[in-house]
Amino acid sequence: MSTLSSSPYKGTRDYYPVDKRVQNYIFGVWARTARRFGYEEYGAPLLEPLEVYTAKTGQEIVSEQTYRFTDRGDREVVIRPEMTPSISRMVAARRQELAYPARLFSIANFMRYERPQRGREREFWQLNADIFGATGPLADAEIIELGYEILKAFGAKKPMYTIKVNDRRVIDAMMHDYLLLDPIQSELMVKLFDRKNKISNEEFRDQAIDIFGPDKAADGLKKIAGLLVARQIDELPKEIADNPAVDELKHLFSILKKRHITNAAFDITLMRGFDYYTGTVFEFFDEDPENNRAMFGGGRYDGLVGLFGAEPISAVGIAPGLSTVELFLTSHNLLPELSSTTEVYVAVLGADQLEGAQELVTKLRAEGVNAELDISGRKLDKQIKTAVKKQIPYLMFVGEEELKKEKYNLKDTATSEEETLSFERLVTRVKDRRRKAGDNSDDLFE
């Protein structure tokens, strides 16, 4: 019998306690910030019928990236590759019962069969936050502000990232009215622009020529070159500037500026690849030269709920991903030191003191202190090494003398400082540290 591999499935990660601390820290910031904005948490199934995604998600994801199979009831199902169709289905199912605007969020995992690379995995985690039933720039601004406040909660400063903004209606005007492309050419050009930062300039030019065709390529490339130098909405050519969506974009930027979000910028090349977007689209882009990439984004998708047989309803959302946010925090040195969620490691001085130590640990837990008791009977030096290796903040020594006097020696494993405290003072000391540590607790979703 061959030996089984200890490696996880390609494109997935094992989360050991040290990794899980980082994950929970990020999830905690996401959840608390979403709740501050009035969003309520929901959950959705890991499996969905294939048809939920074929309608609007995009052929590349459905045909090439979904984990799809036929279940025992001969139904074609997929492991969810994203959340937007699922929450749209859920809203459609309770269309008349929900109160609007409905602000909803989830933190969940997804799977796509794509080439694993830095910041992109086959199994990935995302926050999904959406507003249903609110039209116009105010809702779009709120969703962008939510992303801004999430990064602010992590300690990010405005120069660290740019919020790139566009509108699918402006993109349609660009394709149809300015570049004079037919629907098929427009779809191909949108997908090409969506890949622009992932391919060379030569590849972009050659593929654009193929889309335009030999007769229109020269004029088309000249127009694209003019678009690429347009940094402001006011620099757009008349064929695009006359679109009503341009005024809405200007209004959106005005709202963001009033909310002191001054690192948002118009970007005519921003497409966002999903077929369901109908209005504003945006991406948060890391400006670190070592991690110069889109972190996450979102946009407006007003038509998706209507595909499920319900009356159409407006929607706009955002979806930060775990891996790209973690890379951003790491590249900007924003990740805090995260110790174990166990707060006190109780070392026992002598096997005959174990019963008394157990009673003491029970009392600590009853006071809300996360305490681990060493039951190994090992020598003291090995117990100390265990506490340090586990990165537990405090080490507490319990022997006959300590139990008799009800005074306990508490050692800070980071600084090696020790002090002798009563039970009450010890509990207070641990809880004071927890309050100062803030986000580093196992109570992240409360």
At 250, the pLDDT band (50, 70, 90 cuts) reads very high
At 230, the pLDDT band (50, 70, 90 cuts) reads confident
Q: Using one digit for the tens of pLDDT, what is the confidence trace for 136-172?
A: 999 999 999 999 999 999 999 999 999 999 999 999 9
Indicate whether 360 pLDDT > 60: yes
Give residue for tokens 């200890």. Answer: 6
Dist. CA 167–CA 267, nearest whole Å:
9
Q: Order of strands, edge to edge, in the sheet holding 76-79?
A: 47-49, 76-79, 67-70
Q: Using one digit for the tens of pLDDT, what is the confidence trace for 61-92?
A: 777 899 999 999 999 999 999 999 999 999 99
For residue 9, the SS3 value is coil
Structure token digits, residue 205: 């030019």
Neighbours of 14 (CB within 10 A): 9
Nearest to 317 by CA among 79, 34, 31: 34
Q: What is the mean pLDDT of residues 369-382?
A: 96
pTM above 0.85, yes or no: yes
Q: Does domain 344-437 have CATH number 3.40.50.150?
A: no
The total number of residues shown for the chain amounts to: 446
Indicate whether 16 pLDDT > 80: yes
Q: Using one digit for the tens of pLDDT, what is the confidence trace for 381-406?
A: 999 999 999 999 999 999 999 999 99
Dist. CA 194–CA 281, nearest whole Å:
12
CATH entry, 17-331, from 3.40.605.10, 3.40.50.2300, 3.30.110.60, 3.30.930.10: 3.30.930.10
Indicate whether 340 pLDDT > 60: yes
Q: What is the mean pLDDT of residues 422-440?
A: 87
At 58, the pLDDT band (50, 70, 90 cuts) reads low
Nearest to 62 by CA among 75, 45, 79, 86: 79
Whether the Cβ atoms of residue 53 and residue 77 lie closer than 8 Å to each other = no
Domain boundaries, the chain: 17-331, 344-437
Indicate whether 31 pLDDT > 60: yes
Is the Cα torsion angle 293, 296, 300, 302 positive or negative in sign?
Answer: positive
pLDDT at 275: 78
Indicate whether 186 pLDDT > 60: yes
pLDDT at 441: 46
Mean pLDDT across the chain: 93
For β-strands 394-398 and 407-412, DSSP reports them as antiparallel
Output the CA–CA distances (angstroms, integers) from residue 175 to 27, 190, 216, 227, in the order listed: 39, 8, 13, 11
For residue 93, the SS3 value is helix
3-state SS, 365-389, equals HHCCCCEEECCCCCCHHHHHHHHHH
Indicate whether 446 pLDDT > 50: no
